Structure 1
Amino acid sequence: MIFDRFFKAKHLSSDPEVRLTAISSLSLDKPADKQALHELAFNDSQANVSVAALDKLNSFPLWLKASETAESSRLKRLAHERVLAEVNNPNSTLLTQADFNSFVAESKNLVLLEQMLFSNQRLQNNDALALSVLLKINKVNTNRLYFKDHANQAQQQVIVARTDEINELSKMLKFANHDVVINAIEAKIENLRALAALPIKIKQDATLVISKLLALKDNNDYEQLYEGKQQLCQEFEQYKAQFNVLDEETALLLAEKYLRVNESVEKRLAALKEEWQNTNELKLTTNALSEIEERFKEVKQQIDAILASIDDPSLLAQSKLLSNALSDISLDIEDAKKRPQTVAHKRTIKQIYANIETYQGFLEQLPNVRETQENAKALVIKLQALSDELPVDELADLVKQLKREWNKMLSECSLPLPEPILAAWQGAEKKHRSKITAVQEELKQQEKKTLAKLKTVQRMINQGSFKPALSTFKYAQKMYALLPDKNQKNLSKLYLELHEKATELQELQAFIAGPRKPAMLEEVNALALQQNVEDIPGRAQSVKTLRAQWNELGKLGTDEDDALNKAFDDAIEKAFMPCREHYAEQDKVRAENALQAKVIIDELAELAKHENTATIGRALSAINKKWRALGNLEQSERRKLQKTYQTALKPIQVRLDAFYSDNLERKQALLKKAEQLDAVEDVSNAAESAKQYQQQWKEIGFSGKQTDDELWTAFRKANDAVFAKISEKRDAEASELSQAKTEFYTDAAALSEQLKTATELKDLSDFSANVEVLNDKLRDIPTRQAKTEQQKLDSILVQYKAKQLEFEEQKNTAQWTNLFDTLAAWTDDSLPESAAELPNKFQQLMKLSSNDKGDDKRKELTIQAEIIADLPSNKADEKERKLLQLQLMAARLEGSDIPTVDALLADWISCGPLLKTDQALLKRLKKVILA
């Protein structure tokens, strides 16, 4: 039996090392070998043997099957890693493109597909396949992350089309960089919002229509009520067609309320209809009377025309036709009287009847009209012939006499005069009346002014102001002399009284001024001798005062007084000479200032030639400053120079005004744009636009003193609002990032703690799911800001793998310890209770074991195991060890399989229950297995 085990096919050897070595000798071209490789790949107890067999088979489907069905966790993990390696290798020879597409399309491993979606270049290059994988995964976070980092325009459009949450669409909008996609997102958000708001809008609109219909009931105008009802009912029917978006209760309530209100409006219409019909009948009466009045007006105009051309021999025939027309109008009035009438209608009918009667009378008296018109024309000619040169009183009397004759003629005339004759009379009369009135008014005003002047003289005399009174009386005498006798008569009493008092005052003045004038002349002569004067204003004031005092003494009209007056004039002129020289010097300064002004004006003219308007403003400010700094100028010269300056300034100012106006418009446009940024949802774009607007603002330039500061304040306020929003957004993003990181580290700490406290593998049963949650939270953090967090996640995964290996080693150690404890307790034919916990293959070996192999066989197996494991044996067994070593070497030279430790252990167990002597061998075998 021992030889059978040594010489059977190597791939069937119980020694895994032998099986591992045998795999290289198996050929894929031989069905038996290929079947053996399949058996090793999926049924071998050693993961490294299965991996080698799979390598030999070199088939992606087999690797995939192993990753899904292998019992060994190690094999399953290794196969999974190999599958991932092949799938993620764009140059894989093991996995064709067709196989890759089939694998991705058929795979149900959503976790694997999600990993591939973000890391597999092969999948990412196939737009349709990648999109189908994304749709298969169907996770909101995955959709958003793929949209952000990998999706092209077409894929983004599909993702947008399949997303129906406004919050998710808003997040995608931040990452969209194609106008088509941006427009699609914005349109869908708007559509979703509109759909969400549609029930509310329809309810509000329908309620508004019902409210308008209810309010319409208070209208007393039948036509407006009827037309308004028709329109509102039509609007409600349009909204009613959309009631399917409302809940049933709301739709029923609106319909019921509409029917109730509509019924009340119908009743109101019925109540107003009779009154409306009556009103319409009255309107027909009004229209009929209006038409009759128009016809009468036409006939009246023709009769007036006949009266104006009374000399025409055909008038008699025309008058008969017009009389018949008036009769027809009378018949139509009779018909109108049969219609419903108001008081106003009756009054109109009465008035038309009266007018018809009057004009029928005119037509009957036509033969007597010619003589009356001739008399009227003669009176008009007389009135027009009156000359405007006649005295006013005479002209007024003649006009009055002709007016009496005119009025008498009109009273005797049974027909009105033609309009041309009446207009000629009125025009001539108005002309003469205007002339008479104007002259009379002018004389009246002159009389009033003369009276006022005389009253002023009287008041001055009463107040003791004699000298001004005398001067004013001389002026009043001239005004009085210009008045006609009639007007002088009205003022004669007061005038004679004041004339007498003025004569008395002149005599008194001569008495007072006689002795004072010589004394004042001496004072002026003394002042004239003082030519070195420092106080020019004082000297000028003294001269002015002396002149005023001299003038107060008046002129007496005598030769002696005239000589004194001349001597005073000469002396006062000499006294004023220093002042005159000073003022001459000032004139010279003003002349120099005038020259400087002309220079400035020339500078202004040169400035007008400059093409750069932006620099003109500063230069103009400097020129204006120099102009304002000019000294005194002659008043007339100043006005002339100022006008010249303004003329030269005007074209420049026009250019500047146009420049400032253009700048103002551009700044106002920029301000409007800046103010509109407040409504832009993308705050980052708004902030970027605000920066551009600020730069444009600087480039525009000055826009005028009155507006520039105000515009800048408003513009800065609008920009500040945008920058405040971007600050808020950054704070919000920072807060969101901080929250995301806090949640990440909280979950990461929980995972670390789970790893730390785990004592066995089942304590980590949900660890992979928790890692996936943590990975999702990592994706919510921008990649550039998640390096530390990624390192933290990688560290946790490394710890997790180490923990898995640790638990697997503990499990293996525990299994081996349990095996050897069970073997130590196995001393008879019955199996220990602990044997039930052993792997099935060990249980089967113990059940099928026999006791005929003897103690020596166990010892031999133990020594062979020590040889293979390269562990020392007992000194007492050295001879036997050497012998067994030679046997193994010989077998190896002959090409036979060398037993493995596992195979030796199986044979050792097959020897049956342990004797007391076997316990020492068991301990030695345990050292080999656990080494």
Structure 2
Amino acid sequence: MIFSRIFTPSHQSPKPEKRMQAIENLSPDKAQEKTILHELAFNDEDPNVSLSALEKLNSFVLWLKMSQIAKQSRVKKVAELKVNAALLNEGDLSLSCEEKLSFLKETASPEFVIQLLPKMLEKDAALLRDDTLANALIEKVNKPSFTHYVFLEGASASLQTQLINGYSTISDLQKLAKKVSDDDLLSKINTRIDAIKEAQQRPVELKKQLTLTLSKYQALLDKSDVEVVEQKRREFDSELSGLFAQINLLTQEEHTEYKEKRERISEQVDRYLSRIRPGWEEKQLATQLANTQALCEQQLAHAIEQVSWLYDNRLCEATLADVATVNESVRAVEATLEQLARLGNEKSSEKRLKEITKAVNELNDKLERFSMQQHYGQKLLIKLQMLEDIATKITTLSAVKVQSGQTDANPAEPSAQVDETSHEKVTLDTLQAAFTEVREDYKKLSSEIDAIPKVLSERYKALINRVSAKERAQKTKQNEQIKNVRRQISVIDNLIGQGKFRVAISKFQKLENNYNEMPDSAKEQVEKRFEKTAEEVSRLEGWQSYLAAPRKPALVEEALTLASTEADDIKARSEAIKYLRKQWLSLTTTTNSSTTNSSTTNSSDDDLQKQFDDALEKAFEPCREHYSKLDEQRQQALEKRVAIIASVKSIDPSLPEAELVKIFDRAAKQWHAAGQVERDNYEQLKREWKAVSAPIQTKIQAWQNDNQAQKRDLVLQAQQLANHDDVAVAADEAQSLQNRWKQVGNAGKREESKLWSEFKAANDLVFERLKAERKLLNNVVNEKVDSLLSNIENIDTSSDDATFNESMARVREQLAELPKSQRSKVERKLNVVESKREAQAERAQAQAKRDKAQALTSLLKLSVGEGTEDKEMLIERLGKRWSGLFSQSDGCTRSQHDRRWLTVALEVASNMPSPDADTSIRSSVQLQMMTAKLEQGEAATASEILADWLSYDVLEVKDNALTQRVIAVVDAHPEVVY
């Protein structure tokens, strides 16, 4: 023990200096001494001793540990500096890349990483290009600011995309966007922001659509049409199935709520349908029955109409096709009746159906008889044509008689007509006999036909009326002649009885002429009376000179006749009265030598005078009444003109001229239409009218003269515009002149129309020039448009971008010169060319993708010993990105999943099937992808999975099966190699 006290090791000396000297003699290569150094480094109280021991050991791990646990600030600070220097390759400690990465990922604290990483990046800017390291550091620190720093200071493009897609808050992405200047990254950030917004809005929209659809679903409970309900129900079920496919966007509670609501509504609709279906089906059956009955009625009406048409319009010329068509309409009624029998009839409609059946049977009977009826109808038509021919001949022969003036009494030649077939003369009596015979035959045939066609009946009726009219006309004429002759005989007999022998003899001459013009059949009726009167007149012819003297009785008779007739023409009656009065005064009183007869003669003259005066007075009564009415009308016209003068006198002359013209023109029209007055009164009224209208007319005339001057000036200006150099300016000026013309008042009736004609003609010249110029301009524009369209046609859409853009720019420059209305046609053509160019580019891009995919599959085959193509050419076709993935076999770049898992993931992402042996892996892959989509907004794409698969490790023969599966995916979906 004494020796132990005397010989205490120097490293245990209480003096720090000795312990430091002992450290210099200790070797870390010896296990015992290394232990002593560890003890001194971590447990010695003197910081110099601890630091000396650490320097002797010179281990990164020990320096790191000391930096973490050191209680003395100096030791801790020195240890931290040593660690930092080692990581930055600045001290005597050297660390491999693996050690540094391992330290950062596993050992370094988040605060240390935040502190040291910027310095390490200054030494090695590519440090964060390792996506695995960057992801590990981001996960370790777990701060948005650090994530932003990694994103901005060295993260690879794929990691940047991954980080962008990993953000779930818009505010973080917006902060990141403020620090990014790359357009591609900004686009990705904005796309992610839009995706987050869309993802946030998606549940809201889904709930709205679910609520709306379920509401519509439930609204079916208010509809009474089972067919509509079932149709809408199928539509809503299909729509809800599509919406429920996105139900994972909602919470579990919301999911359950909507599912229960859907089931509840579906059950309600089921119960509702089962309740209303029997009544609805009954109603549908009733509706169908009613519709069928209505159809039957409609078809029956059509069939009846068709059969009637066949009989009425086509009896003589009907074809087999016509009969077949009509027969088909009857068969349609029978088919509908059979359908009604199958549906069952209501008792209330049985009677009507029996009536329809009976009507159909009648129609069938008519159709069966149609052939025989048609035979009779054709015969009837022949008879009708014969009647028409005979009637035409009768009419023609009667017209010839009238024109030649022949009568039955004194014919110049017997009335006859030469028949064109027999060349024999046919008389009117013969024609009438033939007409009667054929008419009887027509009636017999008519009795054999059920219903004579309306056309034939009308033709028959027309010819009968024509022949009857001729007969009636002849009979009427004959009756008129008989009546006229009888009246003349009566007049002559009366004249003879009255002693008016001269008049009787003169009237007998006319009677004789009329009698001679009568046919023999008419003469027989008046022959006895005529012969008797003729004998009387013959007996009086010797007394003709004596009878001519006594004119007064005749004048009295004429006066009486005039008084008894209606006064149609007042002026003619007045003239007739004056003439009779003049004739009467010209006669002298008849005197006899016998005194015994003197008193008798005077008495007779007085009676004749009184009769004559009374007759003329009676004849003049209508004239007196007429003239009295004229006096009343003149008085009314007088009062009206006085009132018009008073109204004009009350007009305020200070009124505006335009209004004054309207008022005065209205009064002037009333003045001219007021009617006639007595000449003396009219002259006085005319002077008053001129006196009151003169001031107004003077003012109106002055105003119209001024308007005339203004409008003449406008006419001159319009005429000058016709020679204007700029026709467009001239047209604008012409429109301006037209507006000014409207503002100028009336220039008087005569001048207004004349000036307007001149003004309109001048304007028409201007606008015709404008129209011609525009037409010429349009022709020029159209030619330019056609030229541009031709140039567009000549643009080669397969040329390089510079040539194509130059050609398009050249056309667009010329396009700016066209009017807006003409541009659209050229712009549409340009759009077509651009669309064609884009389509070619898309096809080229698609072909490039296919070529790249084919090159990748060829390389994959070469990697497993298949194929003979040139590898270098395939790599060149594939491009640097994808070909570079083949050489990435470093463990630092490997995926966290093996190649088999990646193969299944690629098949899932491409919707390709996987072998049955990989079913469990496929389920795991689908679950992870769904989780990633829900948490991060999107899952890995097929292209990203393919990149991981290629960069996983060097392909070997054992990977041949997996390689073949990947080749199948690439062949089916070449777009994954983009």
The answer to whether the superposition gives a TM-score over 0.5 is: no
Q: Which TM class, normalised by the smaller chain length?
A: 0.3 to 0.5
Normalised to the residue count of structure 1, the TM-score between the two structures is 0.41
Q: Tell which has more relative contact order, 1 or 2 (C-alpha 8 A, sep 6+).
A: 1
